[in-house]
Every structure is written in structure tokens, then in C-alpha cells.
């Protein structure tokens, strides 16, 4: 309140709502929970420039009628004195000081929505932080969620939204992190490779190479089969890759990282001459088992 006893016509006991004309509305929004981080303003400089003011309180965000602090307010002209007052919107509604203000209402509604969204995000972050701190492998989980893979990125967003993830999701995050790291290492190795075209003729060739992947491919007609990608390196260190059905004779012993050998025909890919498709493999064997 004022330092001295109020005698102005705007005090609650003397205010006459019919003596006021609406001028404009204003607000200054600060992001939750920090009151020191300004987000948006509307007509603040206009408030400071308007005059003459009643100056019941120097702070434009302190209601000239009741003395309460606020963020959303109006400016009204007191006709008998020609003075402008600033008043909080709740106090204005209490005394019937109402006016049509579509731009202000739109901006205010949008601002409140954004503040609520930010509050929910902050609450989710605090829950997620508490959840991670309770996990024995919390730091490992954070590293996994930041590995750069799309799956872990989505899991990180869900953790921040809901405040926790399931045990199965945690295990999946660790698995994806490992596989993604291996993929990055392979990509770096590929960048330094000297690629050569695959042998593209009607002859069968003997291939020695490292199995880079072993995956099951479904086939609705035949049920599906296991496919392998083999990295073949010649004596000069030049590289090409071939893909096809894993020979049944070595399927049980073949893993990613195994060194295998087999005879097959190869056809070159239309998109990459250093990549080919082998068919009808025979005389297959596992030279070195994967560790």
C-alpha cells in the first residue's frame, strides 16, 4: 500500500466504475518458475508513456485500486480528474470495469498456454532427473539416450515427458547405443576404404570375407530365410561387399564377425558397383568363428 493514508478517488472505498473509460490492456509474462526470465510483453512502453497518471503506486504492475501485484492489467481513464490508472484484470472484473479487447485476449490466452506447457515440461524434467538419480546405471542411461540414434532420441523425449522409462526400454537403450556405436565405427572404416567393383560375370568365384550382418528376411510365400552381408578384402586391401542367403551348412555357426568362405555367382548392384548379390552358394565353411 501507499506510505501515507490514501485520499485518492481510486481507493476501493471510493471508486465509481462509471467514471472510468477503457484505454488499453497490457501484460508482461515471465516463464515459470523463474520470475527473472522475461518471455513476452504487450504495450509496456505505451503504459509508461501514457499520462497524466494517478501514480498511486510507481510500479505499473501494482494495482492502483487495491495494491496487489499482477502480470495482466488494464489502463483506464478517470474522466473527473483526467488521470490514467493501471489496474489488474481481476480487480477490474470485480468492479465491473470490462471492455472488449480481442488482441489482448488472444495474446494472453496464447501466453498462458505456453506457460502451462513449459510448466509441464519442467515438471517432467524434474521427475526424470529424480528417476535417473535413483538408477544404479543412471549415467549410463543418459549416455545411451544421447547416442544420436532416432530410437534413443524418442525415448529421451518420453523420459522428459513422463518422468520415467520401463526396464525393457532401458535395456533397449543400451542395446541401441552399442549397435549405433558399432555402426559409426563401421562408417568411419568405410570412409577410408578403397572400394572396387564386384566380379560381375557368369562364372562362379571363391569368396573369403567377414560377415558384417546376419538378419532374417521374411518371405510371405516361402516363410523367409537368413541373409548375410560379407565384406571381401583382396590382397591389395581393396574392398567390396556381397549380400545373399546364408548357406544352410554354416548357418548355425555364423555370426556377425565370422570369417566365412564359399563359392557363388555374383551380380553387381545397379546403384553401387562395389556392392553385389550372390546366389546359389556352395562349399561353404566358417574359417574363423566370431568372438
Q: How far is Cα 11 from Cα 56, in angstroms, rounded to an integer?
A: 9
pLDDT value at residue 78: 94
Give 287's pLDDT tier (boundaries 50, 70, 90): very high
Percent of the chain with pLDDT over 90: 50
Q: Which three cell numbers stand for residue 204?
A: 562362379
CATH 2.40.50.140 fits 195-288, yes or no: yes
Higher-confidence residue of 209 and 110: namely: 209
Domain positions in the chain are 17-109, 135-188, 195-288
Specify the pTM: 0.48
pLDDT at 4 over 70: no
pLDDT at 39 over 70: no
pLDDT digits (tens, 9 = 90+) for 226-242: 999 999 988 888 899 99
Give 291's pLDDT tier (boundaries 50, 70, 90): confident
pLDDT at 110 over 60: yes
Amino acid at each position: 500500500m501507499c506510505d501515507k493514508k490514501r485520499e485518492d478517488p481510486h481507493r476501493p472505498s471510493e471508486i465509481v466504475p462509471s467514471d472510468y473509460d477503457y484505454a488499453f490492456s497490457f501484460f508482461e509474462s515471465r516463464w515459470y518458475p523463474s520470475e527473472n526470465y522475461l518471455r513476452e510483453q504487450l504495450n509496456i512502453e505505451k503504459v509508461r508513456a501514457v499520462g497524466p497518471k494517478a501514480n498511486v503506486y510507481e510500479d505499473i504492475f501494482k494495482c492502483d485500486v487495491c495494491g496487489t501485484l499482477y502480470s495482466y492489467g488494464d489502463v483506464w481513464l478517470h474522466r473527473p480528474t483526467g488521470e490514467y490508472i493501471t489496474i489488474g484484470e481481476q480487480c477490474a472484473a470485480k468492479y465491473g470495469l470490462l471492455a472488449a479487447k480481442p488482441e489482448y485476449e488472444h495474446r494472453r490466452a496464447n501466453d498462458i498456454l505456453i506457460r502451462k506447457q513449459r510448466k509441464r515440461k519442467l515438471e517432467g524434467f524434474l521427475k526424470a532427473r529424480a528417476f535417473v538419480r535413483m538408477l544404479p546405471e543412471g549415467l549410463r542411461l543418459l549416455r545411451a539416450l544421447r547416442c544420436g540414434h532416432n530410437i534413443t532420441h524418442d525415448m529421451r523425449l518420453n523420459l522428459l515427458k513422463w518422468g520415467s522409462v520401463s526396464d525393457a526400454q532401458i535395456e533397449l537403450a543400451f542395446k541401441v547405443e552399442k549397435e549405433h556405436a558399432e555402426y559409426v565405427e563401421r562408417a568411419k572404416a568405410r570412409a577410408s576404404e578403397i572400394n572396387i567393383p564386384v566380379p560381375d560375370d557368369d562364372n562362379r568365384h571363391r569368396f573369403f570375407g567377414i560377415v558384417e550382418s546376419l538378419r532374417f528376411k521374411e518371405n510371405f510365400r516361402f516363410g523367409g530365410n537368413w541373409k548375410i552381408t560379407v565384406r571381401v578384402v583382396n590382397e591389395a586391401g581393396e574392398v567390396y561387399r556381397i549380400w545373399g542367403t546364408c548357406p544352410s551348412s554354416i548357418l548355425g555357426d555364423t555370426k556377425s564377425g565370422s570369417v566365412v568362405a564359399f563359392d557363388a555367382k555374383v551380380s553387381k548392384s545397379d546403384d553401387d558397383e562395389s556392392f553385389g548379390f550372390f546366389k546359389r552358394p556352395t562349399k561353404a565353411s566358417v574359417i574363423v568363428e566370431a568372438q
